[in-house]
Structure 1
Amino acid sequence: MSLSTKAQIHTFFSPDDDTQKVFLDFIRSTKQHLRIAIYSLHLPPLVDELIQLHRSGVDIALVCDHSQAEGKYEHPEIQQLHVAGVPLVVGTSQKHKIMHHKFTVKDKVSVESGSWNFSLSASQESNYFDVVESTDRATLFLSKWQEMWNWISKNEPQLENRV
């Protein structure tokens, strides 16, 4: 898969930019639809925002990496999302032992992606993410997200039982 498109792009670098604030503002501005694929999730304010958005009727779903979801810090947050009824799958990738993506698609138009994990430490380390406003890019990322969701749901149900 590849894509060439005209798009509006905003790039943020940590620790120079307040990446956590920018990212949480991005999430808070979701109106209807949110899809996340994330390797490492340890950001309590994000978990709270996701649960609040879910309860307000926003269509949210996550694909999370199994090795990180079982981690000391990540597992309680994954469990909190699961208990709140936020749809998520935990697994690997089709061709590797980890799901290493880090992206969010908001309202089928905006894509956040980069090296920045959704963690407390990510904003203190050298990381970056882009926010790209492009329906073409969003469609591409949603397609990849759905492919991962379907594959994990079909091929790795045993990993779901660990959540």
Structure 2
Amino acid sequence: MYCVSSHVGQSRSAAVVTAYLMKCHKMNFVDACAKLQQLKPDVKLRNVPKEMFAADPSLSTCSEVAYRCKMCRRTLFNGSSILSHPVGHGPTAFGHKKLSNQQRGYETQCTSYFTEPVQWMEQAFLGVMNGQLLCPKCSSKLGSFNWCGEQCSCGRWVTPAFQMHKNRVDEKHISIATFKS
């Protein structure tokens, strides 16, 4: 993710101070780093490499399938950004929860898409390990992310997890004619 460092190598204390400012003073990552830089000018912010993120699909039209926010219709990710995972054991995988007899017959299915990180998500990642994924246009809740992973509704653990709830996005098939106009 992001790293706070000084000119002379890594500084874990600077990262700890930044995390403290974020947690205790409710600052976002950029504000906490700015405050730290004000106090210690040689501290620098290094960003996540841009290659880590998939291109923002709202800026291109190179996919046959696009997934859009149900509220505002902003394109969020392409079909090529969806990461497949083997189907888990359904509700029986959630051993920490008691299952009723009705739930035991439940058909295993995924209720979310797990995607690679997309450029518009970058702001959500600033200095945190997990959180909500909100639409960059209308701020509607789309899902969540967790660098340590999350369990899919099918019971499979996915790491890292960038999870979009299927009931929050629409699938749009883009025709070749769209590209010509």
What is the TM-score when the length of structure 1 is the normalising length?
Answer: 0.27
Larger Rg: 2
Higher percent of residues as helix: 1
Q: Taking CA–CA contacts closer than 8 Å with sequence separation of 6 or more, which of the two structures ends up with the larger relative contact order?
A: 1
For normalisation by structure 2, the TM-score amounts to 0.26
